[in-house]
Structure 1
């Protein structure tokens, strides 16, 4: 059975698409952050003359680039806007949210995937996805892929000790895994090894077509330098984007998850983190952790710990 499972965390929600304990895809939502499909009441604050595009702003200050505006929608008009893309933070800028006007009776969520809430994923499931996204690396027999985000696109590089044709073909399943696990959309560039023979490039093109048959996208054929470009619908920041622009926040929430899932009876929770994480962990998050675990929570810092390696244990009161 294939189904989406969702785990409600502290400061975030996590979702995994699972089939017989195998992770097919993942999604991640920061608490309170806008996401595609949500409908917001907003006011049109600007519109160019003769254009169907403009900028709307919600009461909470979220700015949305809106297209397909009706002709009679003028600046100052109130409207309902469904997000088609959540805002995406980059190192030097913020890509504004995008949306379209909807009628008052429009359904809240346009997505076609349903979630089943669970108290906890299978042991190690989210950790495997999380650490892969944190490093941007997925290993495969004979090599690995490295995924990086840039302002223009997500780039996937391939490295290994196989012959170029074999390396390229062996990397294809890992590429498909990364696209699903990291919730990647938009423009994606894949730097395969250079393949001189047209037949070899054709074999890789076919392998990509087969591997990505369930991932809606458009794709160029591999050029003479081994480069392939994919373009898919972009609904919001991928896990890679979130680690690139807010690694400390991602690691802080992960530390709370580790502490929440401690086994044992009695005592208090001692959470030890890098000092940068302590500054990011909100007091209300610690209060929620105490409520969920039924224990007192103590937090200490250790500059010797990596951001991605918090320590949690049960200690005597």
Structure 2
């Protein structure tokens, strides 16, 4: 039976729903990200044109409405409803509301699944590195074709391409798109471009294949129109792996730390692309934690000839 496992990593916490050696769904929570449901004290910065709260660390949170009875400069208890989103839209600040306006709605996984610690690198054996590669490249292969995934200001777009007959490709592509949505934790508005098919039965079969692959999770969708377009909307609670991967250097740095932490014991040298090395140097505590976990000193070698994803650990 599928179960959620967790891995407390350096700079992030990872979660995966595993069915044997297959990742059905995943999520990553970077260090310092305020998850939906977090409650903190904040100050009301402005009320117009849209209310904005100011956090103790200087971060800003857009509010659905100004807290009742609080004037500008006043303090109140804030609940985060969506953390700030990385990606091509850095203006997408965190969203929140006055905590008194509604009961807490924490962004947690099923209580029975919180969490089975991943002490045997089950994530790695199930293809975690491959999943990170898909997030970074925006490409997911499936039998008969490939998905191309892209972030836009309006939605995440999934283009289905392949060499099967159009009706067969539409069904297989819809099934693969649903699986990718879960595995890459894609939320909000999602547009799927399937091959155009004339038959209503084939379009319905493609929509049903998507429904099945989404595994019964909460979502809404349109039907598949005559041009092969389908829209899905999932609750927006956190950044997807695609959005996290948009900050490519930090994404690669945390992946390097994971591989290095699980790759043995004792001293090690990290060979890294300059931008990846810069992330590691800015977050010196990450290297200190890696040294503690490995039980040996950590050194860093900057190599401009490496791709960011090609950063690796070397013996010393």
Normalised by the size of structure 1, how large is the TM-score? 0.89
Return the alpha-carbon distance in structure 1 between the equivalents of residues 159 and 101 of structure 2.
46
Q: Which residue of 2 aligns with 1:38?
A: 38
Gaps of 5+ in 1: none
Query: Which residue in the other structure is 1:277 paired with?
Result: 276
SS in 2 for 1:277: helix
Q: Which residue of 1 aligns with 2:3?
A: 3
1:111-130 superposed matches below 5 A:
111-113=108-110, 114-119=114-119, 121-122=121-122, 123-125=124-126, 126-130=128-132
Partner secondary structure for residue 158 of structure 1: strand
Assess, with a 3 A threshold, how the Cα gap between structure 1 residues 139 and 108 changes in structure 2: closer, same or farther.
closer
Which residue in 1 is equivalent to 2:57?
60
Given candidates 195, 198, 206, the residue that maps to 1:196 is 198
What's the CA shift for 1:105? 12
- Residue ranges of structure 2 left out of the alignment (5+ in a row): none
Distance 2:257 2:290 in 1: 7
- Say yes or no: does 1:226 pair with 2:228: yes
**Pair 1:236–1:263, CA change in 2 (3 A):** same
How far does residue 103 in structure 1 lie from its aligned partner after superposition? Answer: 4.1
1:29 and 2:29 equivalent?
Answer: yes
Counterparts in 2 of 1:71 and 1:274: CA distance versus 1, 3 Å? closer
Q: Which residue of 2 aligns with 1:289?
A: 290
SS in 2 for 1:281: helix
TM-score by length of 2: 0.90
Structure having the higher helix fraction is 2
Match of 1:205 in 2: 207
8 A Cα contact 1:262 1:314, kept in partner: no
Q: CA RMSD for the aligned pairs? A: 2.3
Change over 3 Å in CA distance of 1:285–1:234 after alignment to 2: same
Q: Deviations over 1:33-60 (max 9, x none)?
A: 22212111111222249xxx62211111
Deviation of residue 144 (structure 1)?
Answer: 1.0
Structure 1 residue aligned with 2:84? 87
Q: Relative to 1, partners in 2 of residues 1:195 and 1:106: Cα closer, same or farther, differing over 3 Å?
A: closer
